[in-house]
Chains A and B, each alone.
Chain A
Amino acid sequence: MKKIFVLLLAALLLLISACGRQENTPATGQKETNAGTEAYDPSKTVEFEMKTSETNRIVTVGTVDKSLYSAPILITSFGQSTDAATLDTAMKRAGANYDYKPQATADEIGSYKTLVIAVGASTKGLGQAGISEKDETARAEAIMAKAKETGAQVVCVHIGGETRRGVLSDALADLVLPQCSLIILKEDANWDGKFTNYADQNQLPIILIFGQKDTVQVMTDVFGK
């Protein structure tokens, strides 16, 4: 009887200890959010009609005057997302002459005739760069003020798609849009018509692309040799 009791007790203890389940921690520690917003929630996306598609990947609305975009050209980032690095790669493949300074200051942009600005905020990118949202906004404001002063042409590039929309991303876009002469947009980011409506109301040319890879073709067309 005693043995049976001991065995039952041992089995009970084994069962209790086996129930302590190991936590399944993800391999990379943290969850990113679009800076200034909650995490992107796919269930909250809005259905809208896209002009681009798998088979019609690039759609230009309006006329792009390529002669406006003369060298020297600077690529910079507003929001420190990875999109500026994509632009860097696309421009390299386009064979364009340009400088790439994702954290350029207003003092550094004076000599550039064309500013290509990758708009889109990333908490990870800002963290990596050691820049606060406030400082990034201040840097963006200073650059736009300087560009107004020098008369540099500004190209607003938003290629991060719908996940690159949020409070800070939109605020940074709103700094660039009033001074830009061309918008390049990955179209899924336009779910609320923000960019096409602005282009339409201000008679700005806008190039819509279906995927990030289309950036290479667009950069070749606009900035290539």
Chain B
Amino acid sequence: MKKFSYLWKNALVLVLALVFAIPAALDFKAMQKREPIAENEALTETRMLSEYCEGLKGTPADTEIYILDSGVPGGTFLIFGGTHPNETAGMLAAVSLVENMKPTAGRFFIIPWLNKSGFTHTSPLDGMQDFFDIKLDDGSVRTFRVGNRLTNPIHQWPDRTYYEGTSGRKLVGTETAEIRNVNRMYYGNPDGVLTEKVCWGIYQLILKEGVNLTMDMHEGSPEFLYLDCTMVNEKADNPTAMSIAQGMSLDMEFDDLTMRAEFSGMKSYGLSHRSLGDNTPSMMTLMETYNPSMGPLHGKMDDDLIVGGNEPNYVEAYERGLNYFKVDDSGYPLIDRVARHITCISYLAKNYTDAHPDRAMSFEGLGSYADMVAKGLGGLLKPVGQK
């Protein structure tokens, strides 16, 4: 009887453990499944980043590169989102470009999920949720992951107490976790940690494909100083870079949009605009928009906040003079940020072409900022058979 009781208790513990473990495991596994992407006739080729860094082959960090080649000789534009997976607009802007773009000059290399490993986990202690839904115009629903800004520790562990990447950035103290941050580890290392291999892949892609212009799409919380801002590396060998970026900024202003251009910080070691700009011939840019779901003051985390983009706590913080970035009741919906990223990219391509007509790059298929906002995400994204 005593033995039976012992077994019964152990079985109960096991069942209880499974009650928690199975849903957690299913949830965890679900985050490892990449979102489908809709077909686009203009898509020329899909490659993996491991073609530029062999060490990524077969790892959870290997990611798709979508190539859209106009067939018209010109420049090459590399665009990536998902460097920080929780900065949602960059990933969705890249997905929208892949699904809608009709290139008319030059080639476009687009990576929606750059830190693919980062998309496989989330930040529960920041109150982040793992998925969000977008209802399309045909009634179907597309689900996307939110992810975490860092590589999943299951894929890269442990964080070292001291690390110095190829940029010379010293990761120590509170920065040790940044060894899993793609945007701290450029220009990467083929023999380094997994995150560095992603960086090396991008570095090699730029060199091997002769990329002329690169855009790394980001978002930030309103405590951050550089929102609606594009960082530009103005290298000695590319003195027109800031003028090209200011051309974009003026074009945005003519559309009643703010997108100022700012010099890349000289000490931004390991960041894409600094390290790739210094070590490749490409004009390097990094764009930031305001994401209301980021930052410590965000309230209830749900689809309304992620997609709707209205966070009253930040409105109040601005009214109290605590934020530089103006936040008001009208919110900052995801479609606005996605459209802003795409419009900035379009104007950068236009101004780059004006400055370098022999490296022309242009595309159609997405319309203006106003067109995209009018369509909404439900009209911009294509159905992929999800219900």
A122 touches B243 (CB 8 A): no
Alpha-carbon separation in the docked complex, A130 to B291 (Å): 33
Contact at B243–A28, with CB atoms within 8 Å? no
A25 CB within 8 Å of chain B: yes
* A6 interface contact, C-beta 8 A: no
Q: Which of A93-141 contact B (CB under 8 A)?
A: 93, 100, 122, 124-125, 127-128
Binding site for A on B (CB under 8 A): 83-84, 87, 123, 125-126, 150, 174-175, 177-178, 181, 183, 218, 220-221, 224-226, 231, 234, 242-243, 245-247, 249-250, 253-254, 260-269, 271, 273, 286, 288, 294-296, 321, 324, 351, 354
Q: Which chain A residue lies CB-closest to B296?
A: A24
Consensus secondary structure, chain B interface:
mixed
On whether A89 and B84 interact (CB within 8 A), knowing A22-B125, A28-B268, A212-B249, the answer reads no
B246's contact among A26, A28, A82, by CB below 8 Å, is which? Answer: A82
Interface pair A86/B267, CB less than 8 Å apart:
no
- B253–A28 touching, CB < 8 Å: no
Decide if A213 touches B243 in the complex (CB within 8 Å). no
A33 to B123 CA separation, bound complex (whole angstroms)? 32
Asked if A89 and B250 sit within 8 Å, CB to CB, the answer is yes
Give the docked Cα–Cα distance between A125 and B87 (Å). Answer: 27
In the assembled complex, A46 has its CB within 8 A of some CB on chain B: no
Contact A26 B264 (CB under 8 A): no
Nearest chain-B residue to A86 (Cβ)?
A: B246
A30 x B265 contact (CB < 8 A)? yes
Candidate in B175, B234, B246 with the most chain A CB atoms within 10 angstroms: B246
Residues of A near B254 (CB, < 8 A) are 213
User: In the complex, what distance in Å separates the CA atom of A128 from the CA atom of B242?
Assistant: 11
CB of A85 within 8 Å of the partner chain: yes
> Are B271's CB and A29's CB within 8 A?
yes
Task: Tell whether A82 pairs with B242 under 8 Å between CB atoms, given A25-B178, A27-B183, A122-B263.
Answer: yes
In the complex the two chains form, is A30's CB within 8 Å of B253's CB? no
